[in-house]
Structure 1
Amino acid sequence: MDSNKHTLVLVRHGQSEDNERELFSGLRDPALTPRGVEEATKAGEMLRSLGYRFDEAFTSRLRRAQHTLALILDALGQTDLPVHADAALNERDYGALAGLNKTEARAQFGVEQVRTWRKSYDAVPPGGESLAMTGARLWPYFERAIAPRVESGGCVLVVAHGNSLRSLLMRLDRIEPRHIEDVNIGTAEILVYRYDAASRTLTRAAAIAANASA
C-alpha cells in the first residue's frame, strides 16, 4: 500500500461468549471465545499484510472490543499505539433483552417483535436503545474525536460493535433507515474508508471478512 494517509479502518470485535451462545449482549461484558481471539489475531495479520500502520486507535469501554484491539495491535507490532476508549462507541443497550437467548426472547416477546427490535432503526426494546439512539450518542463523538484525525491525514483504527458500527455506517454509507435492517457486520470484519478532501467525504474502499485469505 502506497499510503495510509486519510484512512479510517473499522473492525467489529471477534466472537464473544455471548455471540457463541446466541445471547443478546448489549452492555454486558463477555470475554472473547478462543475463536474470537483467532479472528482478532487474523484481522491484525491481514492489516499487517496489507501494509497498514496506524496513528491512533479508538474503541469502546467493553472488553470484547478492547481485547480485539489489543490482539490486532500485537499482530501489527504496534502495541504502543495511542488508544482512546470511550462509552460513545459501546454496543447498543438491549435493555430487557440483554442476556436472553434469541430463542428465549422470541418465545417471551414474539418472533416479529424481536425481529423489529433487533433490526429496525427506531424500535426501542424495553429499557434499552434503538439504533437511532445509538447513533445519536456515537455520531457527535465520531465527528469531534475521530473524523478530524482522518481528515488531517491520519490512519485511524476503530474497533467497536455490530450495532454501534451499523449506526455509524448509516452516515458514512448514506444508508436510509428502511434499509439498515439488511446490513450486517461479521465478527472481526474489516471496513476501510478513504477521505477525499475535495468532496469532504469518507468513502468505502474495501470490506474484508475475518475468514478471508490475507
Structure 2
Amino acid sequence: MTIHKEGYTIIGGTALLLLLINWGVRSLTPELGWLHGLLLLVSVLFFVLIVQFFRHPKRVISQDERQIIAPCDGKVVVIEEAVESEYFQGPRRQISIFMSPLNVHVNWTPVSGVVQYFKYHPGLYLVAWHPKSSTDNERTTIVIRTAQGVDILFRQIAGAVARRIRWYVKEGQPVEQSSEMGFIKFGSRVDVFVPLDADIKVKLGDKTVGSVTVLAELA
C-alpha cells in the first residue's frame, strides 16, 4: 500500500494547516488544556481520513480479452438498458459504480485496446447517485476499441464532494486492461456502457474491486 501521487499536495497542505491551527489555539488559550487535547484528537482523525483516501493498493490482476473489469472500487448502483447519446447514440447496457469517500479512488482501464474517443466535460456537482449526474456533472467520456473491434465506453463522474477528475489517457493511445488511467478526488461514480448482448456478471448492490472484479463478458 502506497500513497497516490494525486494526494501529495493535499496531504502536505492539510498537515501544515492542522499544525498551524493547533499552534494558534494553544497560543491564544494556554489555560484550556482540554480544548487542546480535543482539537489534537480531531486533527489526527481528520488527517488519517485524508491519508486513507489517497491510498494506492497493489492489486494482483489477470487479463482476459473477453472480460470487462471494474474500473474502480465501489458499489454497483445501476444495471439497466440505456440510450447513450454522446458517442453510440443508441442503446447499451449501463453499469454504474458509486464510490464513497472511504473507497480507493484510483481508476483502472476496463479493457485492452486503443482509445478511440476522449472528451472532458465541465459541469455541475450533483450527488453521484442522482440520475442526471451522468449527463450534467463534471465528467470525462472515454471509449476504448478492443482487438475484436468492440467499443467500450466509460465515464468518470464527479460527485457533490469530488470536484477534480484526473486522467492519464488520450485519443489514439494503446492501453492495457487493468492499467491505471485516472483518479477522482473525494466521492464519485463511474459508468460503463457495454453491448446489449454482453453477459453481465454482477448484480445491484455488489461491491467491486477495481482492476479485479469482472463486470461483464463479451459475446
Length-normalised TM-score, structure 2: 0.26
Larger radius of gyration: 2
User: Could you say which structure has the greater relative contact order, defined with CA pairs below 8 angstroms and 6 or more residues apart?
Assistant: 1
